[in-house]
Amino acid sequence: MTDSIIIIGAGAAGLMAARELVKAGNKVTILEARDRIGGRIWPIPENKFGYPAQGGAEFVHGEARVTKSLLKDAGLTYIPMEGEMWSFRDGKIWKNDAGTANDEPLTAYRDELDARLRELSEDMPVAEFLEKYFNEEKYEGLRTWVIRMAMNFDAADPNRISTFSLRDEWLGGKEWLQGRIKEGYGALLDFLESECRKKGVEIFLNCETSLIEENPNGITVTTKDDKKFEGSKVIVTVSVALIPSLKFIPEIPQKMKAVSKIGFGPIIKFITQFKSRWWLNALGKDLSKMTFMLTDGKVTAWWTQYPESHPVLTGWIPGRFALEFENSRDEDIIELGIKSLADTFKVEEKMIRDEIVASKVFNWPADPFARGAYSYSAVGAEEAYLELRKPVNNKIYFAGEALASAKETATVEGALLSGLEVSREIK
């Protein structure tokens, strides 16, 4: 038997687990299918957009204690979010002084919605919840608002996402905290990679796993190009959408059943750099402090880099809208963005085209090594999380943003925490 631990995936969870395991004296090998580390963290060179742009994860959510501890170790800078959130819907624009809590479709029935959520004793998909309790015509605006919020923030299918999970988000009583890393998530992962390599972790890129085989001596991992790696244990950190594509011998039907109960949301994100910040006084408003602009179109949100003055807007296409454009050309997605900006800010499309300096699309559902952006809690997911956190014969472990034990799933903090937790279980 070899005492080497094999980690599949060099994203946040894999690198965090490797760092902790090698510090404890273990020999660690990481196999990464991509030609880069990072997974769903995709840093863009600063010379592309004039700042450390992020094609994948960008924001730091919640208290993020593990993330902030690492930032301190790495000498990186956490910046709390500033600025204003705006909404454009049905031809009207307004500033959300209380986040999305003052949206008209919500405020009219907020007390009634909160009461129904608190009274709910059996979980159900949010679409079913709305149909059961808010199916009258007067609630049409509320139904649309709830479904768009589930899609915007959770990238979720309303026919799958757990109403209990949304209740926890909306009525949990926690302050909505969000920030950024000044140097970007890429700098944080570069730090983790450096820590790993200094301690002797081997990282193999362009090394796509196809088979994980348990045997009396431990684990054999076989790659698509038929390379074999032997170890005593393996930690699988790929996205939950990719786990079913891996072959396990012997089969692990309980784990696969658990995976099927976890939702995984599609997101298309695209970054566009302009010659100027042309939107600052659009619509007769002072948008100089705008951070987010929520819309009622298929590009459901735009955001800036405020308080930095970069002439850049990031577009966000979530959920079923992302699936609609999954197989589209990047040029068609950029064209959708141009039409969205023209409609939202009431400017000519030609002006926007003339202003564009550079654009880049990050189509996560079309990415073969992600097949989506991040997880969400479908009905029955809580039991699934517990099942996937249990190792198979103390040889096969799972980790990733979906599997953190705290309420940090679907975030980089969740991935880091999950990697930390699984390393502690092993060492």
Which residues, 6 or more positions from 215, have their beta carbon under 8 angstroms from its beta carbon? none
Whether pLDDT at 173 is above 60: no
Shortest CA distance to 54 belongs to which of 181, 242, 194?
A: 181
Strand partners, 271: 314, 360
Percent pLDDT > 90 in the chain is: 89
3-state secondary structure 333-388: HHHHHHHHHHHHHCCCHHHHHHHEEEEEEEEHHHCCCCCCCEEECECCHHHHHHHH
pLDDT in tens, 371-424: 999 999 999 999 999 999 999 999 999 999 999 987 788 999 999 999 999 999
pLDDT of residue 101: 57
Q: Assign 2 a pLDDT band (cuts: 50, 70, 90).
A: low
Report how far residue 404's alpha carbon sits from residue 415's, in angstroms, rounded to the nearest whole number: 7
pLDDT of residue 106: 81
Report how far residue 416's alpha carbon sits from residue 379's, in angstroms, rounded to the nearest whole number: 25
Please compute the mean of the pLDDT values over residues 176-186 and round it to a whole number: 93
pLDDT of residue 137: 95
Report how far residue 184's alpha carbon sits from residue 78's, in angstroms, rounded to the nearest whole number: 9
For the chain, the domains span 4-46+183-261+378-426, 103-171
pLDDT of residue 107: 83
Please compute the mean of the pLDDT values over residues 236-253 and round it to a whole number: 98
Report how far residue 327's alpha carbon sits from residue 309's, in angstroms, rounded to the nearest whole number: 33
Burial category of 251 from C-beta neighbours within 10 Å (exposed 0-12, middle 13-18, buried 19 and up): exposed
Phi, psi of 310 (to 5 degrees): -65, 135
Chain-wide mean pLDDT for the chain? 95
Whether pLDDT at 3 is above 60: yes
What is the total residue count of the chain? 427
Sign of the dihedral through C-alpha 416, 418, 420, 422: negative
Please compute the mean of the pLDDT values over residues 71-88 and round it to a whole number: 96
pLDDT of residue 259: 98
Pull the structure tokens for residue 409: 């799933």
Please compute the mean of the pLDDT values over residues 145-165 and round it to a whole number: 94
Report how far residue 234's alpha carbon sits from residue 397's, in angstroms, rounded to the nearest whole number: 6
Q: In terms of C-beta distances under 8 Å and separation of at least 24 residues, what long-range contacts does 296-302 make, across chains too?
A: 296/88, 296/89, 296/90, 296/148, 297/340, 297/343, 297/344, 298/324, 298/325, 298/336, 298/340, 299/336, 299/337, 299/340, 300/148, 300/151, 300/152, 301/152, 302/340, 302/341, 302/344
pLDDT of residue 102: 62
Please compute the mean of the pLDDT values over residues 16-35 and round it to a whole number: 97
Q: Assign 170 a pLDDT band (cuts: 50, 70, 90).
A: confident
| 221 contacts 234 by C-beta, under 8 angstroms | yes
Q: For the chain, give me the number of helices (H) and strands (E)?
A: 15, 22
Report how far residue 289's alpha carbon sits from residue 280's, in angstroms, rounded to the nearest whole number: 8
pLDDT of residue 427: 79
Give the Å distances, CA to CA, from 19 to 219, 277, 381, 423: 21, 41, 29, 9
Pull the structure tokens for residue 309: 């003055």
Report how far residue 237's alpha carbon sits from residue 400's, in angstroms, rounded to the nearest whole number: 5
pLDDT of residue 56: 98
pLDDT in tens, 26-36: 999 999 999 99
Instruction: Give the CA-trace dihedral at 77, 315, 170, 127, to 10 degrees.
Output: -150
Whether pLDDT at 23 is above 70: yes
Shortest CA distance to 420 belongs to which of 5, 23, 15, 16?
A: 16
Report how far residue 361's alpha carbon sits from residue 303's, in angstroms, rounded to the nearest whole number: 15
Whether pLDDT at 172 is above 80: no
pLDDT in tens, 192-242: 999 999 999 999 999 999 999 999 989 999 999 999 999 999 999 999 999
pLDDT of residue 1: 39
Percent pLDDT > 70 in the chain is: 97
pLDDT of residue 31: 98
Assigned fold of 4-46+183-261+378-426: FAD/NAD(P)-binding domain (3.50.50)
Whether pLDDT at 323 is above 90: yes
**For strand 4-8 and strand 209-215, is the pairing parallel, antiparallel, or unpaired?**
unpaired
Which residues, 6 or more positions from 380, have their beta carbon under 8 angstroms from its beta carbon? 123, 162, 261
